[in-house]
Amino acid sequence: MDANRQTRDSARLRNFLLIFLAPRGLARRMLVWIIGISTTAALIATSVQLFFDYRSDVSELEQGMRYIEQSQLPGLADAAWNFNVAGMQVQLDGIGHSPWVAGATIHYGPSQSAALKTGKLDPDAGRLFEYVLRRNGVVVGKIYIEPNLHTLYRRTLDRIGIVLATQGGKSLVTSISILLLISWMITRHLTQMAEFAKSFEPGKRFTPFVLRRGPQGPYDELSVLVDRLNDAYGRLQTAHEFQVRHNEILSQEVTQRTTELLEAHRQLAQLAITDKLTGAVNRRGLDEAFKSAIPLADPDSRPLAVILADIDKFKSVNDSRGHLVGDILLREFTGILRRAARATDTVGRWGGEEFLILCPQTTLEQALRLAEHLRASVQAHAFDEIGSKTSSFGVAVLRKGETADDLVKRADEALYQAKEGGRNRVCPEAPDIES
């Protein structure tokens, strides 16, 4: 019995050491985190305590400087007023004997060119107290006092060493104790579960996992976890069989849904740039067409033309025949433009009864001929419930350095000239004065 017990104890110790010394073990990582958290907490507490101690020392130093200012400087000012060098030196030596003073120097005289000093002054000192000496409202000199900070720093460093050593030792002992407890109660059992999970293979015979505990082991969170693990692997076995059986069906459904989604996306994208009434490209679609065409255009080698069309006296149709007839007229007018335009042209509704045709690789002369063809096609068409109808056109081509707004503005001005000139005609843009 004793030999078996020793064997079990040796096996447990070996397993514990393997868990603790594993290069990527949870125990070692937890040790790092525990030590890090404890050290951080100790550093914060130490820093706060040292900060307040340091502030207290600084406050005492400042009180010492105020005491010197109130008790010593008036006498020093009297000596400087009377040019009593011996008296000033005595007063200065008295200030230098203060435990808070490392050294001091006084400048006096008409131009403050004369100087006396006491103690050791550091020219690179980071902090100096400067006081102006006055007598009867007249400045008789200045005194510079260098505070004695060495004692203050030494006391602070001594405190840091003591507090850090105490807090560090406490944190280390606490961290190792917590780590040993967690390793024995949790980590070794988690390792057993990991070995069981590694050996599990769907389709093979399933043997429930049992914790290696004594016969009267407690029913705690680990026991609950084991029960849930066994239940999960049982359901995983069933799910694996279901997955194999239905994987092909799901794959087909995903493919079908993807195809439908892409088609729906394409249709939505098309609807976003299509005018609902006429079926032509809407204002948004024309803006996108301009964004694509402007960078590719060049007035010399790749001209870009715009034709702006307007139905003559369209408002009278709406007023006399109603908006339904007006809508029919707009649809028929759009059809004429789209049939007469070229495959490379973009026909869109600019707004109301105005339509815009974007013509890449088109000179002004070519655009004028196309606009004349469109005008003649409209005039020759017999519209439902209306009969004949005419339209006016303004034509412009892109110039160097222009934007789409500049181009459309000049086409609109040309369209205005066509309207003013009697309608049912094509007008080109005004010539470039600079050219």
Sign of CA dihedral 351, 354, 355, 358: negative
Given 69, 263, 353, 385, the catalytic residue: 353
Residue type, 40: T
φ, ψ of residue 145 in degrees (nearest 5): -115, 125
Angle between helices 26-71 and 2-21 (to 10 degrees): 60
HEC string for 380-431: HCCECCCECCCEEEEEEECCCCCCHHHHHHHHHHHHHHHHHCCCCCEEECCC
Query: What's the CA gap between 242 and 244, in Å, rounded?
Result: 6
Order of strands across the sheet that contains 391-397: 346-351, 354-360, 304-311, 391-397, 426-428
* Cβ atoms of residues 144 and 104 within 8 Å: yes
* Cβ atoms of residues 390 and 336 within 8 Å: no
Query: What's the CA gap between 320 and 185, in Å, rounded?
Result: 93
Residue keyed to tokens 């994208």: 269
Residue keyed to tokens 């006391």: 155
**Does residue 397 sit in helix, strand or coil?**
strand
* Cβ atoms of residues 52 and 189 within 8 Å: no
Active site includes 353? yes
* Count of other CB atoms within 10 angstroms of residue 183: 22
Active site residues: 353
